[in-house]
Structure 1
């Protein structure tokens, strides 16, 4: 018993020797959002729209990627908008397949989403779009698809590559959502 005391006393002295401990104050991530500014998409696509100057176009590198698939990557925000375009070719069955794929991809998030709100809106340019807003700790919070029912089908989905809770990301989600709505409102199809 007596031999343990010197060892324990030494541990206590060494362990308590550092008095520089300061608890960190509670805080929130600082998110600086620049004023929105837009640029026109290159004319090599079968559609035109304006997208944020904060975003970089990255070619979709997935093995299933098609010619007009790309990502709009917001490096500072850790946000990514996946843009997928498919030609419809006046084929109703093909259009139905694209629409079903869009709904299937959205519904895959039902596991974590506690709500999926869908609405059809008429844009400033007269085009109708289907918008899906997902609530909960889901990797995608905002998606849309739009078609002219004859030649064009476009789907976009917002993703974040972060473990940050969505309530903390709310300002960024709303910021990018406004950019996505601007994309929709400036969308035109090439004939």
Structure 2
């Protein structure tokens, strides 16, 4: 594997990027104090939280936000009292499917089905957490599944009175889910920034990590390679080039990702002792989960209000 070589016009673009990153590394790598800055998200103007009641001839009633609307589920095989709560502003749908309970055996199967449907997302989810729903005064019980990661559904739940009524909910964003692969853990850290290229509709995500041990350093290097090669499915090729500037103690690997992959280029830089930074370039042509995460959190609040207000008729 030879030293990193980039030619022609492409060379100038990437050299400019690399120069900017080196300045950034110099700024963050010193011993001076710095203030944590949260990871940036696309600006979203959220509507005011206002709610209304729903009770339309089905054996349940609840409260839902005024910026959503409800329509019958029109898909083939839909049953009575199956409805969809649409969030047009956020391109999201909360699917609600009601089922009367006719036996203890059927009830147990419905509860198991809810868990099965939630955990079908295990392949792409980074975690699936279960939370108990318990409102004994209204005879409303259930489980809420929080599904993190690059899964199709972000949240699911079921509600029941354990005797007569059962309803299941599943939240979907009507876009291709894509978790930002450069964020191994949720929450921004100091010196994590996004370099925006508005003219090219592109973003270079930069995440800095101080090195605290040899073991951690080795893991960071391995993570960089793992994140780059996660694009193997859609990439036509992924090439590695050595970055080596001994006079500045800057070393690393540059990954050129060709093809129809979400990220076009990734790299990491390090002094091998104290500092490590990773970069990932994305052209913003498709939505990613990190860009809809604020929307997801916003709608989850509404789901919590709906669940808390839920009652059987």
TM band (smaller chain) = 0.7 to 0.9
In the TM superposition, residue 58 of structure 1 has moved relative to its aligned partner by 1.9
- The equivalent of 1:80 in structure 2 is 93
1:187 equivalent in alignment to 2:310: yes
- The equivalent of 1:10 in structure 2 is none
Cα pair distance change 1:50/1:124, threshold 3 Å:
farther
**1:30 pairs with 14, 37, 43, which one?**
43
Cα pair distance change 1:175/1:42, threshold 3 Å:
same
Write the distance in 2 (CA, Å) between the matches of 1:128 and 1:166: 30
What SS does structure 1 have at the residue aligned with 2:297?
A: helix
- The equivalent of 2:159 in structure 1 is 146
- The equivalent of 1:174 in structure 2 is 297
1:121 equivalent in alignment to 2:133: yes
Write the deviation string for residues 65-100 of structure 1: whole angstroms up to 9, x where unpaired. Answer: 1111111001111011001111113x1111112112
Write the distance in 1 (CA, Å) between the matches of 2:290 and 2:58: 35
Q: Is the 8 A contact 2:52 2:64 kept in 1?
A: yes
Q: Is the 8 A contact 1:120 1:129 kept in 2?
A: yes
Write the distance in 2 (CA, Å) between the matches of 1:98 and 1:124: 20
What is the 5 A alignment of 1:85-96?
85-89=98-102, 91-96=103-108
What SS does structure 1 have at the residue aligned with 2:44?
A: coil
- The equivalent of 1:106 in structure 2 is 118
Write the distance in 1 (CA, Å) between the matches of 2:49 and 2:91: 17
In the TM superposition, residue 108 of structure 1 has moved relative to its aligned partner by 1.3
Write the deviation string for residues 39-78 of structure 1: whole angstroms up to 9, x where unpaired. Answer: 1113311001011111111211221211111110011110
- The equivalent of 1:135 in structure 2 is 148
**1:157 pairs with 158, 165, 170, which one?**
170
Q: Indicate the structure with greater strand content.
A: 2
Q: Is the 8 A contact 1:117 1:134 kept in 2?
A: yes
TM-score by length of 2: 0.50
Q: Is the 8 A contact 2:146 2:155 kept in 1?
A: yes
TM-score by length of 1: 0.80
> Which consecutive residues of structure 2, in runs of 5 or more, have no partner in the other structure?
1-39, 177-286
Write the distance in 2 (CA, Å) between the matches of 1:67 and 1:179: 24
Write the distance in 2 (CA, Å) between the matches of 1:69 and 1:160: 19
What SS does structure 2 have at the residue aligned with 1:49?
A: strand
- The equivalent of 2:211 in structure 1 is none
> Which consecutive residues of structure 1, in runs of 5 or more, have no partner in the other structure?
1-26
What SS does structure 2 have at the residue aligned with 1:131?
A: strand
In the TM superposition, residue 121 of structure 1 has moved relative to its aligned partner by 3.1
Write the distance in 2 (CA, Å) between the matches of 1:155 and 1:143: 8
Q: What is the number of residues matched between the two proteins?
A: 163
Q: Which has the higher contact order (CA 8 A, sep 6+)?
A: 1
Q: Is the 8 A contact 2:121 2:151 kept in 1?
A: yes
